[in-house]
Amino acid sequence: MTEVRHSAVAPTRTRRLRAGGEIDAHRHDDHQIIYAGRGVVAVTTDAGSWVAPGTRAIWVPAGTVHAHRAHGDLDLHLIGLPATDNPLGLRAPTVLSVSPLLRELIIAYTRDEDAAERPERARLRAVLLDQLRTSPEQPLHVPAPTEPLLRTVCAILAADPGDDRTLAELGRAVGASDRTLSRLFRRDLGMTFPQWRTQLRLHHALVLLADRTPVTTVAHQCGWSSASAFIDVFRRTFGHTPGVHPS
């Protein structure tokens, strides 16, 4: 990823982006919490992509070069925190669960863009950080491969997440054994092939749902054998069904 902009201070504000809108690659000296009050936000770095609907937020550590993309019309809530304020001790971008209370705290805090830290605003921020400390991490990350063979395989599946070929079949297409590819997935991406493909499919499903694609169509396009199988995986991952997916 090419860095194009640097800002010492990560802004605390609300920003609206139309579907497909982007914020180009940039970095801050501060940490940043990124939350989609409406729509779905994707954050991309050289290490991969993180995606979050309204029940999740993305933590981006200070100094991380990243870009944003809106899926669906997006209300983007951004909170900057000094590099010394890392309530979870996270050193890499991470998706965090957002409770109903944390959601309201984020929206309220970003609604007032006044830089002055008035006493009531400081108290709001303190409660927000307390809630953030209790927010579980979520495995909603599609890591980017560095191995050339994996790049080819992953590009095939990213172009069509519904491709249901086995690892052995994909291996024949790229000239490698399934054993070799399986080893590369674990070594390069830190997860198995099925785990990576599920993350990719969930990522793509969130994008389609943000565009109001019907659930049955999403299931088919993302490679699930049935709508019920997709709904089960979605519920176990996000805690609700795709039919009530925040938009």
- pLDDT tens-digit profile, the chain (247 residues): 655 677 767 778 888 999 889 999 999 999 999 999 988 899 999 888 898 888 889 999 999 999 999 988 889 999 998 888 888 888 889 989 899 999 999 999 998 766 556 788 888 889 998 998 888 887 778 898 999 999 999 999 999 999 999 999 999 999 999 999 999 999 999 999 999 999 999 999 988 888 888 999 999 999 999 999 999 999 888 877 887 554 4
CA distance 63 to 6: 9
Beta bridge partners of 81: 31
pLDDT value of residue 247: 44
Note the pLDDT of residue 242.
Answer: 86
- Quote the pLDDT of residue 85: 81
Res 233: pLDDT: 92
SS3 243: helix
pLDDT confidence of residue 236: 87
**pLDDT computed for residue 193 by the predictor:** 96
* Whole-Å CA distances, 136 to 54, 63, 234: 15, 23, 17
Residues 6+ apart with CB under 8 A from 145: 151, 153, 154, 184, 188, 189
What's the pLDDT score for residue 120? 85
The number of C-alpha atoms within 13 Å of 28 and in the hemisphere containing its C-beta is 21
What the chain holds in terms of domains, given with CATH numbers, is 6-138 (2.60.120.810), 145-244 (1.10.10.60)
How far is the CA of 35 from the CAs of 3, 4, 10, 50, 106, in angstroms? 22, 22, 14, 12, 8
Quick count: other Cβ atoms within 10 Å of Cβ 25? 17
CA gap 131, 216 in Å, rounded: 35
Q: Under 8 Å CB-to-CB from 19, ≥6 apart: which residues? A: 39, 70, 71, 72, 73, 74, 210, 211
Classify residue 145 by its DSSP letter. Answer: P
Cα separation, 27 vs 67, in Å, equals 9
Phi first, then psi, for residue 31 (nearest 5°) are -75, 160
